[in-house]
Structure 1
Amino acid sequence: MSMSERNQWDSSLSFILAMIGAAVGLGNIWRFSYVLYSNGGGSFFIPYLIAIAIMGVPFLILEYGVGFSYKESFSKIMKSINPKFEIVAWILVLFVFIVTIYYMVILSWDLVYLASSFTFSWGTDAASYFVQNVGGSSNLDNASFLLIPTTIGVVVLWIVLWFISHRNVDKGIGKVSKILIPALFIIMGGIIVYALTLPGANVGIATLLTPDWTKLADINIWLAAFSQIIFSLSIGQAIALIYASYLPENSKLIDNVLIVVASNSLFEICTAFGVFSILGYMSVTGGTPMVQLITEGTGLVFIVFPMIFNIMGPIGRIMAPLLFLAILFAGVTSALGFLEPMLSTAGDKLGWSRKKTSTVLCIVGCLLSLLLTSGISSYLVGIIDSFVNEFGILLLIGIQCIIFAWFYGVDHFLPALNQYSTFKVGRIWSLVIKYLLPCILIVMWIVGIINLFSSAKTFELIVDLVIIVGVMVFAVILTKIKPANE
C-alpha cells in the first residue's frame, strides 16, 4: 500500500490550513512589500492580479486535479504517464528538498533573533550582529568556522521538523497547521493593526502605494508579478499535488484553491501595509529617509527591523518577539510543505514507513544544513536559493505544465475537479494550461537564466555545478531503483 493511500486529511479544513501554511512563508513577510514598492507601487496590483488569474489559480487547480485523481506519489504519477518522465519527478523533489535544507538555515537565523529579542542582544549595530553571530558575510576566508548560534538553531529546528513530519499527515502536519496558522494570522494581524496607528504610518503607506503607471510598459514588471505568484504560492513544487493526494473523495477542489490563493494574497498585502507603516515610523521619528530603509529579505528583517525596535521603547520589546515568532510559525509550516514531496515520493518508492523515511531525510537534511552555517552562511544560502529557483524549479514547472497538458491530457482532470466544486472550469482553463502558461514560463526561465549567470562569480558557478551534478546523480539512482512493491 502506498504512503498516499495510508494517509488522509480528516477534513478539508486540515488540508486548507496545511496548504495556507505551505504558501504563507518568509517571502510573504519580507519579500512582497519590496517587490510591490520596486515594481510600480500601486500600479503593480494590475500585473499582480492578472498573474493570479492566469498563473496562480489555473496551475494550482491543475496540481489539485493531478494529485486528487492519482492519489499516488509524484514519481508514480510521472511514471504512469510515461516511464521516461519518472526522472523529472525525482529531479523536482530533489530540488525542493534542497529548498528545505537552506530554508531551515534561514529559520535558524530567525530563531536566534527570537531568542535575542527578549534582551535586544543585537545592540545598536544590527548589521554587525548579523554578520558576526548569525548570517556571516561573503568573505570566503570566513568559511573555516561555524556560527554557533545558527548551528544550534539548525539542529533544534530539524528535530522539530522530524517530530511533526514523522507522524501521519493529519496527526502531524494537519494538527500543527490548525494551531500555527490561526496563531500566525492573529499575531501578524495584531502587529499590522498597531503599525497602522504609528506616527508616520501614512508616509510609509503612501511611499508603498504611489503608482508609477509608466512601469506597466516594462516586461520585467510583469515577470516580477508572475515570479511572485509562483514562489509565494509554491506552485509546481509538488507540494499542492502531494497534499491533494491525501484528500477525501468528496472534496471541493476548486473552492479550496480559491480559498488558499485569497488567504495567501490578503496576508502578503496586509503584511506589506504593516511593514511600510513601521518603515514610515522609523523615517519620521528617526529622521532616516525612506529610501535608505527600504530593502528585502534578511536586510529588512534582521537589520532594519531591529534598528526600529531599538527606538520604539517598551512597545518594541513586545513587537520584536511577536514578529520573530510569527516568522518562525510561517517558516515551520512552509518547511513541512517543502519536505513532504521528498518524504512521500521516497517512502513510496523504497517501501519505507513514514517514520523511517522522515527520520532518514531529517538526519541527511540536518547534516547538509549544517554545512551552510559557516561564516559565509547568508552568502551560500543566497547562491543556492537563486540557482534552485531561477534555474531548477522554474524549468521543471514548465516541463510539468507541458507533460500534464500535452502528454496526458489536461481534460482528463475536469470530472474530478468539477464534480463537487461550487465553481467549475472548462475550455478556457484548458487553453491557459496548454498554451499560455508554457509560453510565460519559458520566457521567465530564459530571463532568469540570463540574470543568474550574467554576473555570476567563479565560486557561485562552482556551487551551482555541485548542485546540478548532485541532483542529476541522485535522480538517476532513485529512478533506477526497483520499487519495493514490484
Structure 2
Amino acid sequence: MTDKNEWGSNLSFILAMIGSAVGLGNIWRYPYVLYSNGGGAFYIPYIVAILLMGIPFLILEYGVGYNYKSSFAKAITNIDSKWQYLGWLLPVAVFMIMIYYSAILGWDGIYMILSFFKGWGADPNSFFTTTLLQSSDSYMGLTNFIPLIAVAMLIGWAIIWFISHKDLEKGLGKVSKVLVPLLFIIMIVIVGFSLTLPGASIGLAELFNPDWSLLGNFNIWMAAFGQIIFSLSLGMSIAFTYASYTKDDADLITNTLSIAFANCAFENFAALGVFSILGYMSMQSGTAVADLVTQGTGLVFIAYPTVFNVLGNWALVLGPLFFLTVYLAGLTSILSTIEPLSFSIQNKFGLTRSKTMTILCITGAAISMLYATSYGGSLLGYVDTFINQIALLFGIIVECIVFAWIFDAEKLIDFLNSRTKTIKVGKWWLIIVKYVLPIAISIIWIGGMIDVINNGSMEQLIFTVLTALVLLIVTLVLTVRHAKTGDWENADERV
C-alpha cells in the first residue's frame, strides 16, 4: 500500500503550518528580542519585516511548492539539476535541527512531571545545570551518559514516529487539528492568570516602554528581520513541503496571511505572560526586571521554576500547564522538521512514507543520544548556532535566487492572483523576492558569520567545522546516489 501525502482539507494545512511556525522560539526567544530591541519601538521594524520579508517569502515558497507538488529536492532538481545539492542541503540541515530539538523536548518532558511537586527544589539554576544536565564544558563530558534525559528523549521520538509514520492526514493532519487549538487555549489561560499577578504591570511597563532612539540603530532592524526568518520558518523547505501537500483549490495568499497573523499574535501574546511573570518576580525579589530578563533555556527551566517556587499552590496548576504548552509548541514544530527530508527520500528512492519515517526516527533518535550526555548542552548550543546563523541562512539566500530568478517567480503571479480573495501580487512582489530578500538575508548571514568567528571559543569552532562536514557529506551522498524512481527528473508543473 502506498502512503498518501495530501492534506485532507485546507484547515489541516493551515493548522499544521501554524503549528510549525509556533514553537519554542515564540515563547523563549521573542519576548527577549522585543524587550532588548527598543520595547514598543521594535514593532515598527517588526511589522516592516513581516510585510517586506515574511509574507512575500512565504507566498514564494507556497507558490513554487504548490506548482511542483513534489518534495523540495525533486523540485530543485527539476528547476535545474545543477542545483540538486541545495535541494538536499536544506532538508538535511532542518533534520539536524530536529535532532537537537528533541533534547529540549526531553528536558521539558522531565519538567512537566517535576512541576506537579516542584521537583527542581529551592535552587532551580543549580538543579537544571548541575543535577539534571550535569553540565560539562569539556568535550570529555560526551563520555558521561545521563539515562533520565535519554529516556525522556526516546519517549519524544516514539511520539514523533507514532504520528509521522501514518498517512499525512491520519497522522499529522489529525494531530494538528487537536494540538494547535489546544496550544492557543492553554496559552490564553496562562497569560490570563499572569496578568492578574501583583506586579504584572511593572513587567509590562518595562516590555513596552519604547526607546525610539534605537530605530536609527542598524541592529534593531536586523533583529526584526532575523526574528521573522526563524519565527515563520522561512526558507527551511518546510513551507514548501507543506504547500506541495495541498489540494488543487488552495488559496495560497490568504493562507499565508492567516498563518503569519496567527504566529505573530501568539508570540506577542506569549510576551505578555512572560513579562507579567517577570514583573511579579521583580516585585517579590526586589530585583529590577532588567536583571531578570533572559532567553532560551534559562527562561523556561530556571526563571519560570523560580516563579513557581513562590507562587504557592497556584503553581501546581500553572506549572504543569506551562510546561505542557512548551511541550506542545515543541512537538508541533518538531513534527514539521522531518517532513522535507522524508518527502525528498520518498520521491528519489521510492520508499513508502511509513518506512522512510521509521528509518529517519531511528537514525535521529540514535544520533540524539549525544545530547543525553554532560556535554549535550554545550554541543546543542554550538550546533544550533552553526545551523541557524550559517548553514540555513546561506541555503535560504540560494533558494531565494533559484526560486525568484532561475524558476522565474513572475510565472506565479497570474496563477496566485486567480485564486485569492485577499491581496494580489504584482511587480512590487517581484522586486521584493528578486532583490530585497536576497540582499537583506545576505546581510544577516554575514553578521551571523562574523559573530561566530569573533565570539566563538576554540571548541565551538572545532565542533562547528565537524557539524559542517557532517552536513556537507550527508548532503553529497544523497545527491550523488542514483534515483530509484523513474520520474525523479521529470517535472509536473502547474504554471
**Shorter-chain TM-score: what band?**
over 0.9
Matching residue of 2:462:
462
Per-residue CA shift, 1:59-82, capped at 9, x if unaligned? 000010011111011111111111
CA distance in 1 between counterparts of 2:178 and 2:390 reads: 35
SS at match of 1:371: helix
Is residue 101 of structure 2 the alignment partner of residue 103 of structure 1? yes
Alpha-carbon offset, residue 476 of structure 1: 1.4
User: Conserved in 1, the CA contact under 8 Å of 2:183 and 2:329?
Assistant: yes
User: Conserved in 1, the CA contact under 8 Å of 2:55 and 2:256?
Assistant: yes
Counterpart AA for 1:123: G
Per-residue CA shift, 1:44-92, capped at 9, x if unaligned? 0000000000110000000100111110111111111111111001111
Matching residue of 2:408:
409
Matching residue of 1:428:
428
Cα RMSD for the two superposed structures: 1.3
Residue 47 (structure 2) aligned to one of 46, 49, 59: 49
Counterpart AA for 2:388: N
Matching residue of 2:29:
31
User: Conserved in 2, the CA contact under 8 Å of 1:2 and 1:348?
Assistant: no
Structure 1 runs of 4+ with >4 Å offset: none
CA distance in 2 between counterparts of 1:126 and 1:136 reads: 13
CA distance in 2 between counterparts of 1:313 and 1:113 reads: 17
Matching residue of 1:67:
65
Matching residue of 2:483:
483
SS at match of 1:220: helix
SS at match of 2:407: helix
User: Conserved in 2, the CA contact under 8 Å of 1:78 and 1:86?
Assistant: yes
Matching residue of 1:174:
173
CA distance in 1 between counterparts of 2:340 and 2:262 reads: 23
CA distance in 2 between counterparts of 1:452 and 1:416 reads: 42
Alpha-carbon offset, residue 241 of structure 1: 0.4
Alpha-carbon offset, residue 133 of structure 1: 3.7
User: Conserved in 2, the CA contact under 8 Å of 1:384 and 1:464?
Assistant: yes
CA distance in 1 between counterparts of 2:200 and 2:280 reads: 6
Residue 22 (structure 1) aligned to one of 20, 23, 30: 20
Matching residue of 1:473:
473
User: Conserved in 1, the CA contact under 8 Å of 2:2 and 2:352?
Assistant: no
CA distance in 2 between counterparts of 1:272 and 1:149 reads: 31
Matching residue of 1:124:
122
Matching residue of 2:343:
344
Counterpart AA for 1:13: L
CA distance in 1 between counterparts of 2:257 and 2:2 reads: 29
1:213-362 correspondence runs (5 A): 213-362=212-361
SS at match of 1:234: coil
User: Conserved in 1, the CA contact under 8 Å of 2:110 and 2:152?
Assistant: yes
CA distance in 2 between counterparts of 1:138 and 1:292 reads: 25
Counterpart AA for 1:467: T
Question: 1:451/1:2 Cα in 2 relative to 1: closer, same or farther (>3 Å)?
Answer: farther
CA distance in 2 between counterparts of 1:291 and 1:407 reads: 48
Alpha-carbon offset, residue 138 of structure 1: 4.4
SS at match of 2:167: coil
CA distance in 2 between counterparts of 1:270 and 1:392 reads: 30
Q: Which stretch has the larger CA shift, 326-335 or 343-352? A: 343-352
Identity of aligned residues (%): 45
Matching residue of 1:393:
392
CA distance in 2 between counterparts of 1:354 and 1:143 reads: 33
CA distance in 1 between counterparts of 2:415 and 2:237 reads: 18
Per-residue CA shift, 1:11-58, capped at 9, x if unaligned? 111000000000000000011000000011110000000000011000
Matching residue of 1:445:
445
SS at match of 2:338: helix
SS at match of 1:375: coil
Counterpart AA for 1:414: I
User: Conserved in 1, the CA contact under 8 Å of 2:186 and 2:321?
Assistant: yes
Counterpart AA for 1:81: I
CA distance in 1 between counterparts of 2:300 and 2:472 reads: 35
CA distance in 1 between counterparts of 2:20 and 2:50 reads: 17
Per-residue CA shift, 1:381-440, capped at 9, x if unaligned? 111111001000011111111111111101112233222111221111111000111110
Matching residue of 2:492:
none
Is residue 87 of structure 2 the alignment partner of residue 89 of structure 1? yes
CA distance in 1 between counterparts of 2:136 and 2:98 reads: 22
Per-residue CA shift, 1:167-222, capped at 9, x if unaligned? 11111111000111111001000000111111101100000011111111111111
Alpha-carbon offset, residue 146 of structure 1: 1.8
CA distance in 1 between counterparts of 2:353 and 2:362 reads: 14
Q: Which stretch has the larger CA shift, 41-50 or 125-134? A: 125-134
CA distance in 1 between counterparts of 2:484 and 2:86 reads: 20
Unaligned runs of 5+ in 2: 487-495
Question: 1:64/1:2 Cα in 2 relative to 1: closer, same or farther (>3 Å)?
Answer: farther
